Amino acid sequence: MQMMDRKLLFVVVFIPFILFAQVERWVYRYDGSLDSTDFATSVIYGADGNIYAGGGSRGNSGYIDATVISLTNSGNERWVYRNSGPTIYDDVVLSIVYGSDGNIYAAGKSYGGSTLDDIIVISLTTSGSERWVYRYNSPGDHIDYAYSIVYGSDGNIYVAGASGGASAGWGDFTVISLTTSGSERWVYTYNGPGNGNDCAYSLVHGSDGNIYAAGRSEGINSLYDFAVVSLTTSGSERWVYRYNGPGNQRDCANSIVYGLDNNIYSAGYGTGSGTREDFTVISLTNSGSERWVYTHNGAENYVDVAKSLVYGSDGNLYAAGHITDTIYYDFAVVSITNSGDERWIYTYEGPANHNGEAFSIARGLDNIIYASGRVAGYHDFIIASLTSSGSEIWVYTYGGIMGGQDNKIIYGQDNNIYLAGMSISSGSREDFVVISLGGVGVEEIESFVINSGVPTIFNGFLHFPEGKNNKVFDITGREVMPDKIKPGIYFIEVDGKITQKVIKIK
């Protein structure tokens, strides 16, 4: 028998073919001591593999305490932290972040008595111990809120919200920076030309090293305008962008991202000529020049709003909110190219054909889009899973008497989905709720022929052929990002064909 040339040896490697299906992993409910109002507003997946959710819970005083709860990724409660503030009144966490220093930072508002609501930032260890609490009371003792918090790549904390102006008492667009030890670095405020209510709702630290905040600012004879402000990390204003839609009415930015292409993208709404609020996404250069404005007016010519935005690794944008295509709001996701062209629109009415809307959106490491919100009025949570081309993979709903208030979704590094919000169940009032889903199920086996029987062993970074369409799959057949490769076995696809087996050792 003739001996086979080892260089021509073909190896059949079996790789699972992935069929997608949602699986509810667990539901965690927290009912505070008074069996009263408890709710989650934000959730993060920590670098330590645990879940941290922020919100509020009514305490023994009868008022709401700022609350942070930590869970294992299997849904077991690790600890509950509550902060009632200096006086007896409502306090709440509205945004939370896991710092690269391994600590938790939560921002929101806390009632200070004569100072009314103050901006609050709380830092906790991952074991739930309080490190420090920072409070900001604006000049004149007016109402102050923090809506967004980020941990900068420079190792500082940045918070965006609103604070009362020194004279009129109207809200000013506000960004505050703190050190990780809780010391105030600087406070930036912007009072728009209309000298009215201005507010920052979303914040990002760009990879260019600058800060970008988005919200609204009152104009002169234009109600309020869609506003984006850029600052240096030392708090100096770089530029202010304002957009007054053709309807000269209400315009607002709710979400902002810094794209992989080094441009700025912000989503919200703008009032068109002869329409109500239109679903709006605006792109700017990082020097503040307008690149394009995308708007969508639903069939009912009524209120259409974008609430949350992500920039995909495929270079496209995905915005979640609602579009009014019937007499009710529809849960909606819109995809746009980074040049401003509409790719597709997905809407979901739900079985009861009542108001529905999306509040939050995430793009998974599996390149799937996950959007969360509510359907059937206020009654059901919804998570819709979509391909990057806009095809529906699955829809998950979670009810109770009321399960669909404002909620937040994230895709964890463990490849599971986490949703935080509020839900009423039989026999209780509103509960603080965190839900976890597994997004992928392995259903059948498919084989690929690889042209070499000898795998390549490497450490560090994986190098690809230039000018090719390269992808990486793990041993389950799941595509992984090249910069997320951990030690293990992987398969390289070049221009649609599996060509190489590799083993990363460290």
Q: How far apart are CA 404 and CA 372, in angstroms?
A: 9
Instruction: Report pLDDT for 488.
Output: 66
258-282 pLDDT, tens digit per residue, is: 999 999 999 999 998 888 899 999 9
Instruction: Report pLDDT for 141.
Output: 74
State the pairing for strand pair 369-375/357-363.
antiparallel
Q: What is the dihedral of CA 475, 476, 479, 483, to 10 degrees?
A: -50
Contact 367, 313 (CB under 8 A): yes
74-104 in b/e form (b: 16+ CB < 10 A) is: eeeeeeebbbbbeeebbbbbbbbbbbeeebb
Mean pLDDT to the nearest integer, 405-418: 90
Spatial neighbors of 29 by CB under 8 A, at least 6 apart, are: 423, 425, 431, 432, 433
pLDDT band at 76 (very low <50, low <70, confident <90, very high): very high
Number of other CB atoms surrounding residue 112 within 10 Å: 20
Instruction: Report pLDDT for 90.
Output: 87
Q: What does the angle CA 89 – CA 94 – CA 95 come to, to the nearest 5 degrees?
A: 145
Instruction: Report pLDDT for 437.
Output: 94
- Looking at the predicted structure, is the pLDDT value of residue 39 above 70? yes
pLDDT band at 13 (very low <50, low <70, confident <90, very high): very low
Domain-wise residue ranges, the chain: 6-16+446-504, 100-403
The pTM of the full predicted model, rounded to 2 decimals, is 0.82
295-333 pLDDT, tens digit per residue, is: 999 887 889 999 999 999 899 999 999 998 777 789 999
Instruction: Report pLDDT for 448.
Output: 33
Burial of 49 (0-12, 13-18, 19+ CB in 10 A): exposed
Tokens found for residue 181: 């030890």
The fold for domain 100-403 equals Methylamine Dehydrogenase; Chain H (2.130.10)
User: How many contiguous H segments (helices) and E segments (strands) does the chain have?
Assistant: 0, 37
Instruction: Report pLDDT for 12.
Output: 38
Instruction: Report pLDDT for 359.
Output: 95
